[in-house]
Structures are given as structure tokens and as C-alpha cells.
Amino acid sequence: MTDPLAAVFGCAGETLQPGEAAFFRDCDPLGFILFARNCRTPEQIRRLTGDLRHAVGRADAPVLMDHEGGRVQRLPSPPWRKVPAPADLGRLPPHEAALAVALNAQLMALELADVGVDVNCVPCLDVNDPAGHQVIGNRAFSADPGIVALLGRAQADGLRRGGGLPVIKHMPGHGRATVDSHLELPIVRASQGELADRDFQPFMALADLPLGMTAHVLFPELDPDHPATLSKRIIGEIIRERIGFHGLLFTDDLSMQALGGEIGQRAAAALAAGCDVALHCNGILAEMQSVAVSCPPLSTQAQGRWQRALAWRQTAQPASRVEILKELEALT
């Protein structure tokens, strides 16, 4: 068996098309990611996640989702519950907030597992900045890095109790960005000291977690030429050394407009900079083909990081979703 490609891909719609299935079979990406365009009913999503795994012949291929709550909710409501935004839970008193976040995360993990999704791209450990663009906004737990760290840990613990894997994002911090990185490249001119005192803090507190994601943000005081996703200096000196994160590192979505250049070149540059896995989300087959040509198999070091992530994950604890929801509603 060959090693999987150092890539995670999306697909275009609610069903896997023959051309997509053939492409995934041939290139064998590490895993997949789903978005709202892929999600309609429980039965449909279960069929899709099963078909994706069947395409690569690996029943344990990870399927990711950005299911944060609030305006970033991929499972439609109805039929699923409306998940509270992180900031809404972050406004509770800290003890109650931590309990609520953990319960909500456990419930999310169980809901996702029911449709075949085993990795949730949370917690968002960005520290909210009222002067920043609302691309983060209420996706952040708080403007207080201590609260962000506390609730990020609670969210990761809740996901683990539900059998899920968390992804800390967006390293080394997206909260100060004043433009939407989906549309253009944010430039954050804070000094390294300012970033270390605030933005890095939640990531340092949760650096032991097994999966992380970069930010498509340019920090001129850290690297004047490359955004974090493409910066060997930021990934090596800041994310790996200063923050102390040694888990598997995903890029943020390479199809976002913050990054320039041809899509395959973006993937190659991110992996050369030190990212472990190229993440491509929009489901456009031609773009995925270009990324695949530019991506090597998962490195030996990255494979070890992925295996440690799998070892970190726990079997979901027996729990009643009705009771969890009742506890959560009592707190909120």
C-alpha cells in the first residue's frame, strides 16, 4: 500500500461524481472536507462520506468539517439544531462558559460522527479584535486570550469525549486581520512582542493538541515576504519553536484569494515551508488535479504526527444527546 497524498480535498456537491471518485482513487489523498454545499440530510451525508472513503479504499480516511456554530454551521438547521456561536458561549461567566463549550463540543462530535465526519476544524483560537475584520468576529470565543485558551481547551476536551479530533486554528493568529482572507491577503503589522503577548497565547496553551491549521496572513515583522502558510520562518521559528506546536499542520484553504499564484504552486510552496498537508476546499476538479500533481506523499514525519493524532482520539463515551442538550440549555 502506498502512502497517501499530503492533501485533503473537497467535492462539488451532495453526491460523489464518477470523475471525482476516479480522481480520488488515483491520487489517494489523506482525507476529505465537507461544506454546506455537501450537506442536506443525515442519510445523504452518510452515503457521501462512505463513498469518499470507498474511493480511496480506506475506511479510516479522515473526513473534516468546519462546524463551529453561529454563522459557520455546515449541518443545516433544520434538521440539525442551531449551534451557538463561540462568542455567545464566551460571554457566559468563565466556569459556566467552559461547561457549556465542552457540552456543546461533545454534542457536535456525536452529531458529526453520526454522518461519518471525524475531524472538526475547531477550536478557533484567534483572539477577537474589535478593530479587526468580522471574518473572525464571533467565531472567536473572546477578546481575552486567557478566556480563548480556557474555552479552546474545553472545546477540545468535549470533542474528545464525543470521539472527535480537534484542529487548532489559525496559527499564529488571525484576530487582528482587517480584511477577509477569503478575498485578499490580510497584513498584520504588530510586532513580535505584541503578537506573543496576545495572539500566540492561546496556541501556546493548547500546543499539545495533535492537529493545527495555518493562517493566510502576512506578518511583516515576522516575515516581510511570505504569509504564514507559505513562510518557512513563521512555521519553523514561530509555530514550531515559539508556540511549541509539533502536531500535524494543515494549510488553511489554498483556494482562498489571500494567496497568489497558480493553485498547484501554492500547495508546493506551503509544503516546502513546513506545512504537512495541503487543504483544498472548493471542490473544483481541475484545481484539485493541479494540487495533486504538486503534492508528494505524506512525509514520514507527517505520518508519525497523524498516527499520534489517532492515538490521542478516544472512543466516544456513552452519553445521551438529549441529556447533554438539556444540560447545555440550562447553562445558556
Domain boundaries, the chain: 61-72+83-290+297-331
Tell the CATH topology of 61-72+83-290+297-331: TIM Barrel (3.20.20)
Catalytic residues: 182, 252
* Burial class, 172, CB count within 10 angstroms (exposed 0-12 / middle 13-18 / buried 19+): buried
What DSSP letter does each residue of 40-107 carry, written as one string?
S-HHHHHHHHHHHHHHHT-TT--EEE---BTTB--S-TTTSPPPPPHHHHHTS-HHHHHHHHHHHHHH
Q: 3-state class of 199 per DSSP? A: coil
Q: What span, in angstroms and rounded, lies between the C-alpha atoms of 14 and 169?
A: 27
Please check the confidence at residue 1 and state whether its pLDDT lies above 90.
no
Number of other CB atoms surrounding residue 191 within 10 Å: 12
Determine contact, residues 95/152, Cβ cutoff 8 Å: no
Grid cell at residue 198: 496576545
The confidence band for 134, taking pLDDT boundaries of 50, 70 and 90, is: confident
The confidence band for 131, taking pLDDT boundaries of 50, 70 and 90, is: confident
Question: What tens digit of pLDDT does each residue of 87-108 get?
Answer: 999 999 999 999 999 999 999 9
Please check the confidence at residue 132 and state whether its pLDDT lies above 90.
no
Please check the confidence at residue 167 and state whether its pLDDT lies above 90.
yes
N-terminal to C-terminal alpha carbon distance within the chain: 49
The confidence band for 271, taking pLDDT boundaries of 50, 70 and 90, is: very high
Report how many helices (DSSP H) and strands (DSSP E) the chain contains, helices first.
12, 9
Please check the confidence at residue 143 and state whether its pLDDT lies above 80.
yes
- Quote the DSSP letter at residue 201: H
Q: 3-state class of 34 per DSSP? A: strand
User: Among residues 168, 239, 251, which one has the least CA distance to residue 206?
Assistant: 168
